[in-house]
Amino acid sequence: MNTIAKRKQAVLKMVQLALLTAIVLVLQFTGVAIRLPIPGATNISLVLIPIALGAMLLGPAAGAFLGLVFGLVVYITGGVMHMDPFTAFLFDNNPIVTAGICIVKSTLAGFLGGWIYKLLKDKKNLLAVFLAAAIVPVINTAVFCLGCLTILGTIEGFIAANSLGQTGLYFIFIGCAGLNFVFELAVNLIFSPAIERIIRLVSKQIKR
């Protein structure tokens, strides 16, 4: 590949990353209004779609970066700015752990999604796409649940303060992660592969 082609490809990747970052920001800010009708449930996130796409198209580092952006926005808006009652409560009681939960879960999810895709794409591309699309919500939810377990007392304090009448474990695994996870996994599996194919076809046309 000559120098001009390399520069063109680098610019294309930068444009794609910038576009996906913008989509992450828009989806996260608009997604605040999307909430399951369950007391105390967290917001449904559509942001995992562009994170998975970035991981597949641009690699693990890009996936991690998009996940980091997502996590920072959640932490700042939900915790620092108190736009989400649950995140705000966690922030007020455990700001450092809350930062870890918000940032680590999505950053790791984006990185591992890209790593899985990179590992398998040359052998079984379709399988790689679906596994990458699935691993992002799986890791995002798993790390969230594990993080919440480390501050179970704070979670139970939120339940008591809001008179939710649930146990801490039920709230974490059902109220926060249960249906949200099922929805996010289904959406990622349905849309990520299709959009990934479209973007890759467009990218090939631009490279010509």
DSSP string covering 127-158: HHHHHHHHHHHHHHHHHHHHHHHHTHHHHHHH
Rounded CA-CA distance 126/144 in Å is 28
What's the 3-state SS for 92-117?
Answer: HHCHHHHHHHHHHHHHHHHHHHHHHH
Range of the domain at 47: 3-207
What is the domain count for the chain?
A: 1
Residue 11: which CATH number?
1.10.1760.20
C-alpha 186: how far from chain center:
14
Predicted local confidence at residue 206, as pLDDT: 58
Which percentage of the chain shows pLDDT scores above 90? 53
If pLDDT is split at 50, 70 and 90, which confidence band does 67 have? Answer: very high
pLDDT in tens, 9-33: 788 889 889 999 999 999 888 765 5
